[in-house]
A and B are shown apart, each in its own frame.
Chain A
Amino acid sequence: MLGDIINPYHLQIVSFILINIILGISIYITLSSGQLSLGNAGFMGIGAYTSALLTINFDLPIFLGIILGAVVAGVFGILIGIPALRLSGVYLAIATLGFGEVIRVIFVNWESITQGSIGLSGIPHLGRELFKTFKLTGFDPDMLGLKNNQFIYLLVVLILLLVNILLVWFFIRQNKSRVGRAFAAIKMDEKAAESMGINITYYKVLSFTQGAILAGFAGALYAHVMAYISPADFAYHRAIDILIFSIFGGSELIWGAIFGATFMTILPEALRFISDYRYMIYGVILIAMMAFRPQGIIDVPLLKWFKKSLKLKRGVSHGIGTKKYN
């Protein structure tokens, strides 16, 4: 029964959506302290190549590879984040875009290790490797009425979903705390934030690095879901795509990045039947968006309205709301 509904192609799209959500959150976090980074494609590439090379050449378990990929991207995040403190706005955007290109060019030219523009193939696949482990325990997907292929893609989606839920939970909590308030204060007025005792160096590097770690993490997941990567996957158009996720969805809230990544991943697939025009429609939607709703689809008033109507529907008032302050 389950086997009739599940379509590996759809599952593949869902896993792209989930990876793109992580990328969207990575830029949302950097933006939340007022820094516009276009280097996240570069960090993504670092994560992807690190994990891919470690698992291919040293037979490292995938999970360890992914974590190391995120860590290495994070280290680069700190190294870039500190000098980037002197820059802001478009200057930071250009500098980080330059960084991303440097990384891509290194992947292209360091052929002995990265195999140049041909890219790395034969990267252990997250789902298949897990499937092998399951098989060892004597599990057969037939027990669920699934074909091997369906089961593998389903596993990937479930893992990514779990990761996504954890990340969203993490950043919502961070956002509602002293750290989140410091990010927001720096975004709104850096000088005033500093005068209020906020160590802006620390918090700006923190948010930049968190963004880099997330992008590296997403990149590593991407490598093990695609099983093949090449430098072109991490070119500047990827950086723009990531930025669009957050800007289109609404950069004020984490839900904006989530919505943006979901919508922008589904759109080209949904428009596949008019293949020649789909990127034109994509472009028109972006232009209309910037003209009519520059803050992005999801903003604070919309979220408040949504919460309110949800409460009205339930018809219950949850206390007088004395403890509600954020």
Chain B
Amino acid sequence: MVLELKNITKNFGGISALTDVSFKINEGEIFGLIGPNGAGKTTLFNVITNMFSPTSGEISFLGEKISGLKPHKITDKGICRTFQNIRLFSQMSVLENVLVGGHCRSKSGVINSVLRTKSQRKEETNSLEAALELLELVGLSKFQNSTAENLAYGQQRRLEIARALASNPKLLLLDEPAAGMNETETEGLFDLIKKVQKRGVTVLLIEHDMPFVMKLCDRITVLNFGKKLAEGTPAEIQNNQEVIEAYLGAEEDDEIA
């Protein structure tokens, strides 16, 4: 088991964004998190990475409690994320973005960097090689020297994935990776996430594109109004009455209409 959430509750003032959410993610899975807008999916990501600390509940990663750790420590442990509203370092080059992603896998401080010691140069070469390999993976090699903000939207999403992968995560959190993509781009993204899975990275993703989620995910959890509504394989979720009601409205409503 890679990630385990136990009874996570998150309140903002009087509003409960998440109530008693629990689930487990197995190693090597692609795990989907779906739900209507405002269901608390992104809040859950922010709680996992401790951008917000949970009001109550506990999160363990690879059997170790991580709730309460600082966000950068959590990245260091092996969880890295992308953002729903792309947050690249927009004035850096594409390559530099990925190099920053590898920050916690390198150590050189000020002195080593200024003196360019042997270990520092080796580390830089390794980071560079790793970054170039990741750009190859996401298909952005020929843009490596472009400024990140000049990339097309779909490319920026891919760059975010490459940047997150540079931290060598065991668990990758993707927040709506297919948002704003056309069909071809979504297909490319599908292949990319499968490739990421083959590298031994477990994936947790939020996505609204249902055909995409159903095709891609091994298991899915559905959130509605901050509560867990259902969990299961794509086939189980598609046939779950409660889920259908949450998305399409209950039967009675249909009759009135």
Q: Is the CB–CB distance between A185 and B109 below 8 Å?
A: no
Asked if B81 lies at the interface with its beta carbon under 8 angstroms from chain A, I say: yes
Of B51, B103, B114, B163, the contact of A182 (CB 8 Å cutoff): B103
Which of B28-36, B84-92, B217-225 faces chain A? B84-92
A184 partner residues in chain B, CB cutoff 8 A: 89, 92, 96, 100
Asked if A113 lies at the interface with its beta carbon under 8 angstroms from chain B, I say: no
Asked if A272 lies at the interface with its beta carbon under 8 angstroms from chain B, I say: no
A192-B87, A192-B88 known; A182-B100 Cβ under 8 A:
yes
Residue of chain A at shortest CB distance from B160: A192
The list of the 9 closest CB pairs from A to B, nearest first, reads A197-B104, A177-B113, A197-B75, A192-B87, A188-B89, A173-B114, A185-B100, A194-B71, A199-B72
Q: Is the CB–CB distance between A192 and B83 below 8 Å?
A: yes
Asked if B116 lies at the interface with its beta carbon under 8 angstroms from chain A, I say: yes
Asked if A179 lies at the interface with its beta carbon under 8 angstroms from chain B, I say: yes
B75 partner residues in chain A, CB cutoff 8 A: 195-197
Least CB distance from B206 to A in Å reads 15
Which residues of B, 71-113, contact A by the 8 Å Cβ criterion? 71-72, 75-76, 80-81, 83, 87-93, 95-96, 99-101, 103-106, 108-110, 113
A173-B113, A189-B87 known; A198-B95 Cβ under 8 A:
no
Q: Is the CB–CB distance between A181 and B72 below 8 Å?
A: no
Asked if B124 lies at the interface with its beta carbon under 8 angstroms from chain A, I say: yes
Least CB distance from A169 to B in Å reads 8
Least CB distance from B50 to A in Å reads 10
Of A195, A196, A206, the contact of B110 (CB 8 Å cutoff): A206
Greatest chain A CB density within 10 A among B72, B90, B95, B127 is at B72
Cα separation A184 to B76 with both chains bound (whole Å): 20
Residues of B within 8 A of A (CB): 49, 51, 70-72, 75-76, 80-81, 83, 87-93, 95-96, 99-101, 103-106, 108-110, 113-114, 116, 120, 123-124, 127-128, 144-145, 163-164, 167
Asked if A178 lies at the interface with its beta carbon under 8 angstroms from chain B, I say: yes
Residue of chain A at shortest CB distance from B173: A195
Greatest chain B CB density within 10 A among A184, A194, A197, A206 is at A197
Asked if A292 lies at the interface with its beta carbon under 8 angstroms from chain B, I say: no
Asked if A146 lies at the interface with its beta carbon under 8 angstroms from chain B, I say: no
Of A178, A182, A188, A325, the contact of B95 (CB 8 Å cutoff): A325
Residue of chain A at shortest CB distance from B169: A197
A199 partner residues in chain B, CB cutoff 8 A: 70, 72
B145 partner residues in chain A, CB cutoff 8 A: 325
Q: Is the CB–CB distance between A192 and B72 below 8 Å?
A: no
Cα separation A200 to B103 with both chains bound (whole Å): 12
Greatest chain B CB density within 10 A among A170, A174, A178, A191 is at A178
Q: Is the CB–CB distance between A197 and B80 below 8 Å?
A: yes
Least CB distance from A231 to B in Å reads 33
Cα separation A185 to B98 with both chains bound (whole Å): 11
Asked if A137 lies at the interface with its beta carbon under 8 angstroms from chain B, I say: no
Q: Is the CB–CB distance between B93 and A178 below 8 Å?
A: no
B72 partner residues in chain A, CB cutoff 8 A: 194-195, 197-200
Q: Is the CB–CB distance between B100 and A191 below 8 Å?
A: no
A193 partner residues in chain B, CB cutoff 8 A: 89, 100
B163 partner residues in chain A, CB cutoff 8 A: 196
Q: Is the CB–CB distance between A178 and B113 below 8 Å?
A: yes
Contact string against B for A residues 155-193, beta-carbon threshold 8 Å, 1 for contact and 0 otherwise: 000000000000000100110011111101100110111
Cα separation A193 to B101 with both chains bound (whole Å): 8
Asked if A326 lies at the interface with its beta carbon under 8 angstroms from chain B, I say: yes
Q: Is the CB–CB distance between B80 and A195 below 8 Å?
A: yes
Q: Is the CB–CB distance between B124 and A195 below 8 Å?
A: no
Cα separation A194 to B246 with both chains bound (whole Å): 35
Least CB distance from A26 to B in Å reads 16
Instruction: Write 16 A-B pairs (CB below 8 A) sorted by A numbering.
Output: A170-B114, A177-B120, A178-B106, A181-B96, A182-B100, A185-B100, A189-B90, A194-B72, A196-B75, A196-B101, A196-B103, A196-B163, A199-B70, A199-B72, A200-B72, A325-B96
Q: Is the CB–CB distance between B80 and A196 below 8 Å?
A: yes
Q: Is the CB–CB distance between B103 and A197 below 8 Å?
A: yes
Cα separation A198 to B51 with both chains bound (whole Å): 13
Q: Is the CB–CB distance between A181 and B114 below 8 Å?
A: no
Residue of chain B at shortest CB distance from A176: B113
B123 partner residues in chain A, CB cutoff 8 A: 178
Cα separation A199 to B99 with both chains bound (whole Å): 15
Cα separation A178 to B119 with both chains bound (whole Å): 13
B90 partner residues in chain A, CB cutoff 8 A: 188-189
Q: Is the CB–CB distance between B103 and A191 below 8 Å?
A: no
B80 partner residues in chain A, CB cutoff 8 A: 195-197
Residue of chain A at shortest CB distance from B101: A196
